[in-house]
Structure 1
Amino acid sequence: MDAGLFTKMLSDKSVTDLKKLKYKYPQADLAEFVSLLKGSFYHALPLKDFDGGQMVYLESVAQVRLSAARVLLTPQDSSQPYGIKAMEEEIVSTLSIEQIDTSRDSVRKILSGYAPANESEKRIYAMKKGLEFIVDPAHQISEENLHQLYEMTIGALLPEEDRLPPGNLYRNDSVYVVGDKVEHTGLNWKKLPEYMGALIEFANMDGDMNDLLKAALLHFDLAYLHPYFDGNGRMARLLHLWYLVQRGYSSALFVPLSGFIERSRKGYYDAYTLIEQNARISGVLDVTPFLVYFIENVYHKLSNALPAASTTEYFQAALASGSVTEKEKDLWQFVLSAYGGGEFSTKQLERDFGSAAYATIRSFVLKFEGMGLLRRTKYGNRVKYSVK
């Protein structure tokens, strides 16, 4: 193949959709293009498709900006390893993606420490426990811990017919993803111990793959294998976060990963479909479409999800100089955790914080606005604040 034509096809915006390429270029050119990708350009992965072939991806196409990793690596000024607001969004969104009815008020109630009062709130409480489980550094990714996480967050709440048999880490029968038609069939259940063992081994393997891309790949593979009768999507998203936490991305649980997915849900599911569609044309399971989905819809949108690095640095400098009191430090940490990038009023902060007089709250807000750490926005006679 002419080098110019190959370069043109590789840089085509439809390069992750072979069906579209098929309509743009002659069949012979597409076949030669795919052959060249297989020979020299695909990066092989230590994970297999259902027929035993190696999964691959196009490293030149799946490029994540360093700024995305920097955002997730920047420690937050919080006494907790997760943000309450981010946890609220994560739970609401991950359940919504699976079309499980819940209410934001119920999520806030459970996160405030109330006991669940119904089945919906039991699911919320289970997801809360799961998020707390993955943030604990004692819980490394292993098959046993993955099973514990599954039972904690999903398995114990399922009807009897959808639960794993006693002693089984994974399902013991076939499972299908059904829309208007059967869209995906999970891996033959007899192969699950082998394939899931390889997935866990890959999660703990050192290598040269970008951590953010590897997290997305673990997410894809768990959902692709579909090791459970129900809850595979929720487990894939938990595994994604778990891997980032385990690799030291301290702000991973201050960002509602599932919130970004929910807002681009069609692209999320289309990426799974596209991978299998491409495989029917090329004979190779190329996961690039899923990685590109995460790069464009999640990772490259993170910069606005957390306070600017300069805000964090300025607060730390003020704290070190002694110009921030312990109460103000507690209030700042609470604001970051409880509201994230959202807005709040002084009255709301007084009510939610619960252990400071209004005069203290008002003084804190005005001082931190003057320091450039909080932003004021007027809505008629009302004023709201947010972290810069």
Structure 2
Amino acid sequence: MKRPKNALDLSQIKPSPEILFDPNSMDLARNYNEKYIHWDKLQYCDCGHYGRESLWYLMKIMRLNTCKRVNIGDLSISYNLLDRFQKPLHQIDMALSTGLLPINGFDDKRKMMLSISSMMEESIASSQMEGAATTTKVAKRMLRDKIDPKNRSERMILDNYRAMEFIRSNLDRDLSPEFIRELHGIVTHDTLEDPGYEGNFRKDNSITVRDILTGETYHEPVSYELIDPMIDGLCRFVNDESDYIHPIIKGILLHFIVAYIHPFMDGNGRVSRSLFYWYTMREGYSVMEYLSISKAIKEHKGGYEEAYQLCETDGNDVTYFIDYNIRMVMLSIEIFTNYLREKIDERRHVRDLTDAGDITQRQTDILASLMNSDGPQSVYELASKSGVSPQTIRNDVNLLIGKGYVKESSKEGHKHMYFYAGKGKK
């Protein structure tokens, strides 16, 4: 991806004085600021009578007048709470902290399965973003069946899954350097060239964030001498509740600052995304455990990298990163909500089939088991749950295949595997 050009600082611009009194320019600046257009993209916009530099000057003056600032050691970041953020933040509040998602329609066992499935999705996607080369199907089978990882990619996914379990069980803790290092040790266990790096901050400046193909430097992490004081400052900022910051916004700031500091030799992205989950769940957004935000980010990864670079090339204005991450949280909620509604619809459909006498109760249980499973199942797995012989289940499955309710998946070894196919033949 092409790095955006550095935005001009106010000191580099000599604006036309008249622009400050021009209503058309004021309207353009307000409109572009609500969209939060970067200097590099402003070249493709109508900049009015006074030109791009003068309009950018006006936009920056407006932004500086309304921005909030956070200082962490030598790092000073700013951000604006745009009017268009208010609606999605309210929707996130309603969905994640007040129990309005249809998750309440499921029993505790199914909720636990949904949580495990989402943690799997998050672990796999977050690891794949950092180079883990394996399919989601293989990774889920490894996690579900507790198979020992065969390579570094599978180990990364298992470590990420264990990190998700760790943060979920440590929501009562304050943020501390020890907590961050402990999380990193879990995220990177047995995946680093030097095991001594696990759970320890950098001791040199030998890393940079570069484009793999072009070699272009995207980010120079802070000097290792600054890591300890900056992490201490970050922990004070996160734990301090004297000045209210919306938890989603503060979680995104935590995510950005950890990635900016880059305190570890590897695993910084996974740690920063995990900390976003930890903080928002700690602040009452318990339903966050059912979302896979990294999966949404992975599908829009170019936007993730661009958001970082827009911030860095505009004086560490983190509004771009906040904008992107709010959209990814909203997308994750939408995906999960649609999934839940589909499952509720499936359960209702199976109940109707039983009431109509189209299938037996045992066949209903088979469909329910397949619907609630993270992956396809064999007749032997289904038989062990039903307490009848595999041949009896095989007969049931064949009948359900004939009706279009079940389909055969690819074999796993010598076993035929089956999954729920939908509402059957029309």
> Is the TM value for this pair above 0.5?
yes
How far does the alpha carbon of each residue in 1:205-248 deviate from its partner, in whole angstroms, 9 at most, with x for none?
32432222222221111111111111111111111111122122
Contact 1:271 1:290 in 2 (8 A): yes
How far does the alpha carbon of each residue in 1:156-184 deviate from its partner, in whole angstroms, 9 at most, with x for none?
431118726xxx84111112001121110
Contact 2:255 2:273 in 1 (8 A): yes
The alpha-carbon distance between structure 1 residues 351 and 161, as it changes in their structure 2 partners (threshold 3 A), is closer
How far does the alpha carbon of each residue in 1:243-291 deviate from its partner, in whole angstroms, 9 at most, with x for none?
1221222221211111001000000001011111222xxxxx2111111
Specify the alignment match of 1:355 in structure 2: 385
Match of 2:329 among 291, 298, 307: 298
Contact 1:377 1:385 in 2 (8 A): yes
Specify the alignment match of 1:197 in structure 2: 232
Offset of residue 51 of structure 1: 4.6
Match of 2:188 among 154, 175, 186: 154
Using the aligned pairs only, state the percent identity: 21
- Equivalents in 2 of 1:178, 1:354: separation in Å? 52
- Equivalents in 1 of 2:36, 2:152: separation in Å? 45
- Equivalents in 2 of 1:124, 1:265: separation in Å? 18
Scaled by the length of structure 1, what TM-score is found?
0.74
- Tell me, what secondary structure is at the counterpart of 2:146? coil
For 1:133-172, what aligned pairs fall within 5 Å after superposition?
133-137=166-170, 140=173, 141-154=175-188, 156-160=190-194, 163=197, 169-172=200-203
Structure 2, unpaired ranges of 5+: 1-19, 348-363, 397-404, 409-418
For 1:305-324, what aligned pairs fall within 5 Å after superposition?
305-306=336-337
Offset of residue 378 of structure 1: 9.8
Contact 1:14 1:21 in 2 (8 A): no
Specify the alignment match of 1:108 in structure 2: 141
1:130 aligns to 2:170 (yes or no) = no
1:234 aligns to 2:270 (yes or no) = yes
1:6 aligns to 2:39 (yes or no) = no
AA aligned to 1:203 is V
- Equivalents in 2 of 1:173, 1:333: separation in Å? 53
1:42 aligns to 2:87 (yes or no) = no
Contact 2:127 2:160 in 1 (8 A): no
1:246 aligns to 2:307 (yes or no) = no
Contact 1:81 1:135 in 2 (8 A): no
- Equivalents in 2 of 1:352, 1:240: separation in Å? 38
Specify the alignment match of 1:31 in structure 2: 57
Scaled by the length of structure 2, what TM-score is found?
0.68
- Equivalents in 2 of 1:16, 1:237: separation in Å? 25
1:53 aligns to 2:84 (yes or no) = no
Contact 1:86 1:255 in 2 (8 A): yes
Offset of residue 146 of structure 1: 1.5
AA aligned to 2:326 is I
AA aligned to 1:136 is S
Contact 2:227 2:263 in 1 (8 A): yes
Offset of residue 310 of structure 1: 12
Structure 1, unpaired ranges of 5+: 280-284, 316-327, 364-375
- Equivalents in 2 of 1:161, 1:243: separation in Å? 27
Which stretch shows the higher mean deviation, 73-82 or 6-15? 73-82
CA RMSD of superposed structures (Å): 4.0
Indicate the structure (1 or 2) with the bigger Cα radius of gyration. 2
Which stretch shows the higher mean deviation, 85-94 or 291-300? 291-300
AA aligned to 2:30 is L
- Tell me, what secondary structure is at the counterpart of 1:251? helix
- Equivalents in 1 of 2:382, 2:91: separation in Å? 33
- Equivalents in 2 of 1:299, 1:34: separation in Å? 28
Specify the alignment match of 1:70 in structure 2: 94
